[in-house]
Chains A and B, each alone.
Chain A
């Protein structure tokens, strides 16, 4: 298994992708990401990743949350994920991913959020 990519590198990866930022241009929200016991708050400002903070947090506020088994995300982030692990909804179907909070902005920007998460998959970044 490759080392887990650094979620803190999301601003660099996403903001350099003009097309991805454009796709998320109507989204301003805080996405909570839980990977096993690790928690992150990802602030999105009109499609740009403004800030990523790593927990633990005291009384965090967030818009919607993704909580995923760490070993499932490790497979999701492989350059060629195995069957059943190549998409966020594949993880949802497996029961490895749970969603929480206000899911309207999540569903309204689903393709953007899938690609934000998949941007950590870059072999260059995960090597």
Chain B
């Protein structure tokens, strides 16, 4: 019997968030500059398996992917059954900063996708001094609601199936089948109402169109990479966002969709490597 053991290690940390104890799961691989990876709404850190497993990246970067509370292998806090999950800008920022400080990361690079790409803009705006660079994937300042998210958490609709159906459409048409369906599977596994609760941040609370000019890329470089086939955060949305941020670097990735690091890791990493190289040599 032969098995390939990946070099990723997964551990749990216990820490307080908003005064409540949480149990947070995180995975890491590599050494060097910390690279903190933030998953999309309704998914978890497995989306970054390609990054965590790529020696071209882990040679110079300590890649860390944690599951947000309520996601993946991170538990909701005790008493969760008494309320609905709803992510806000303030809470999301606090979670990221607390995790980075708990791990004693020295000015990490933050790289987030979708909601992670949105909060990356918040971090660049409000906490530039704490980060070496910010990489926003599928990053925009706002998304107009275009479907009724009530259906994502409704007793007449299977939550895993409908979240998967929403996510499946956002994958680029040429994504390798295995990675496409792995990406969709993560959505099938989300807890009830979690994708919807994340989208509250994405579509309602996290709108920062009017504040983009506060981002100072001379304090913290900002790189925005967006897949050509994303219709949730379209290339036009990212370009419009970047146009308001002097010094932001933008790259539109042909063929890729909303989950570049998960739907086509190899295709995405080809775009990411030059960005990481530039950050490493700054």
Complex CA–CA separation, A88 to B231 (angstroms): 11
Asked whether B229 lies within 8 Å of A83 as measured between CB atoms, the reply is: yes
Could you tell me how many residues of chain B have their Cβ less than 8 Å away from some Cβ of chain A? 25
Min CB–CB distance A124 → chain B (angstroms): 17
Residue of B whose beta carbon sits closest to that of A23: B161
Asked whether B169 lies within 8 Å of A83 as measured between CB atoms, the reply is: no
Asked whether A90 lies within 8 Å of B169 as measured between CB atoms, the reply is: yes
Is A81 an interface residue, CB under 8 A from the partner?
Answer: yes
Is A61 an interface residue, CB under 8 A from the partner?
Answer: no
Which one of A12-20, A32-40, A105-113 is at the interface?
A105-113
Is A2 an interface residue, CB under 8 A from the partner?
Answer: no
Complex CA–CA separation, A86 to B228 (angstroms): 11
Complex CA–CA separation, A111 to B170 (angstroms): 12
Asked whether A83 lies within 8 Å of B156 as measured between CB atoms, the reply is: no
Q: Which residues between 152 and 173 of chain B lie within 8 Å of chain A, taking CB atoms?
A: 154, 156-158, 161-162, 164-166, 168-170, 172-173
Is B138 an interface residue, CB under 8 A from the partner?
Answer: no
Asked whether A87 lies within 8 Å of B151 as measured between CB atoms, the reply is: no
Residues of A whose CB lies within 8 Å of any CB of B are 80-81, 83-84, 86-90, 92-94, 103-104, 107-108, 110-111, 114
Residues of B whose CB lies within 8 Å of any CB of A are 146-148, 151, 154, 156-158, 161-162, 164-166, 168-170, 172-174, 228-229, 231-232, 234-235
